[in-house]
Amino acid sequence: MMTVSKPVSPDLVVAGKVFRAATIRDEEWLEGEVIADPEALVSSLRSARRADIFSFARPLPECEPRYNFHFEWDNVAVANLAKGFKPWWEGLPQETRKNVRRSQRRGVTVSRVEFNDDLVRGISNIYNETPLRQGRKFPHYRKSLERVKAENATYLDRGVLIGAFFEGKLIGFIKMVRVNGLARIMQIVSLDAHTDKRPTNALLAKAVEISCEQQATHLIYGKYVYGTKENSPVTEFKRRNGFERLNYPRYFVPLTRTGALAIRCRLHLGLAKIIPEGVTNLYLSARAAIYRRRFGLQEGLQDAAEPKVPVGNSSGNA
C-alpha cells in the first residue's frame, strides 16, 4: 500500500535550449503525492513563464491516467514482490539461478553494508576501474573521494546499501531507496574484472531478498526499455533476472506557445525516442568505437550471461 505523506511544494529544475522543460527535482525518490493540485501548479508556472513545458508523473505503482493533460507512456523494469522471495526465485530462468550459485561458489559474499569511509573508498575504486561503461564516458570516473562520499550519502534514512565482496575487497554494490512502499535501485555497479563471478546477479538476488523482508511490494530497476531499443542486452538481462515492463503515464503540459509547438512536433520526447532503433544502434556503436580509440582501450568480449548494465548516480535512475 502506498504511503501517503503531506504534499510538498516541488523543487523544479528547468533545462533545455530549443525549449525549456521543467521537471521535479528527484521526482522518483520523493514520497507521497508530490503535487497536491496539478491544475494550480500549472497555472502558477504559466504565469511565471520560467518554462515552456512542465513534465511530471504520479508516484508508482500508480499507472492509470488520472489528469486531463497530454501524456506519453513511460516505463520501468519492475519485480513484483507481493508474494515474497520464493515465487520470484522460482520464476527465474534456470541459468540465472545458476549464476547466483556460481557467484557463491567462486567466493563472492553479499551482505548489507554501512555507509562509512571504507565503503566510499571501495566505491571509488570501482568507479575508477574504467573511463567507459556501456560505450560512453562514465560520469563517476576519477571523482574525488569527497564528491563520491557526498553523492552516495543521499537518502540514507530510507536507503539500503549492499556490497559484493571477493577476498575482502568490494567488487560491486547496490544502493536502494524505499519510496511509497516499494524499493528503487538508485545505483548498481560492479568491477568488470570480476564479471566471471557474476556479482551483479548475486547483488540483485540479495536486493530482492531484503526488499521482501522490508515488505516492499515492488523492486524497480531503472527503465525496462531505453528510448527505442526494444531488444537490447540490458532489457534481456533484466528480464532474465525477474523484472517485467510496467508502463505508466508521464504528463507533458504546455506552458507557452513554444511548448505547445514542441509537443505537436513530438520534440518533447527527445531524440532517443524519435530516432529508429537501427539508427540508434549504429550511432551507439560508432560512439563506443571513438571513445575506445580516444582512451586507448580494447574492445572487450561482452559476456552474454551478465551484460554491462546501466549505472545510475546517487540522485538518478539506475
Please, which pLDDT band fits residue 3 given cuts at 50, 70 and 90? very low
Whether 146 is covered by a domain: the verdict is yes
The domain total for the chain is 1
The pLDDT value recorded for residue 307 is: 44
Q: Give residue-wise pLDDT tens across range 5-43.
A: 444 457 999 999 889 999 999 999 999 998 989 999 999
81 φψ region: left (φ > 0), alpha (ψ -120 to 50), beta (else): alpha
Cα separations in angstroms, 218 against 161, 174, 214, 250: 17, 16, 11, 19
Residue 237, φ and ψ in degrees, nearest 5: -60, -45
User: What is the grid cell recorded at 12?
Assistant: 523544479
Cell of residue 236, nine digits: 534481456
- pLDDT of 9 reads 54
Task: Please check whether residue 169 lies inside any domain of the structure.
Answer: yes
pLDDT digits (tens, 9 = 90+) for 197-230: 999 999 999 999 999 999 999 999 999 998 877 8
| pLDDT score, position 8 | 40
- The verdict on residue 122 lying in a domain is yes
151, part of any domain:
yes
**Helix or strand run (H / E) with residue 254:** strand 244-254
Beta bridge partners of 185: 176
Residue-wise pLDDT tens digits, 159-202: 999 999 999 999 999 999 999 999 999 999 999 999 999 999 99
Residue 92 lies in a domain: yes
Structure confidence at residue 304 (pLDDT): 33
Residue span of the structural domain in which 208 resides: 79-244
Q: Residue 142: pLDDT above 80?
A: yes
Asked if residues 259 and 112 have their Cβ atoms less than 8 Å apart, the reply is no
Is residue 264, in this structure, part of any structural domain at all?
Answer: no
pLDDT at 289 over 90: no
Within-domain flag for 315: no
Domain of 169: which CATH number? 3.40.630.30
Q: Is the pLDDT score of 90 beyond 90?
A: yes
The C-alpha cell that represents 313 in the structure block:
548516480
Residue 29 falls inside a structural domain: no
Q: Which residues contact 241 (CB under 8 A, 6 or more apart)?
A: 79, 92, 96, 201, 204, 221
Contact (CB, 8 A) for 8 and 29: no
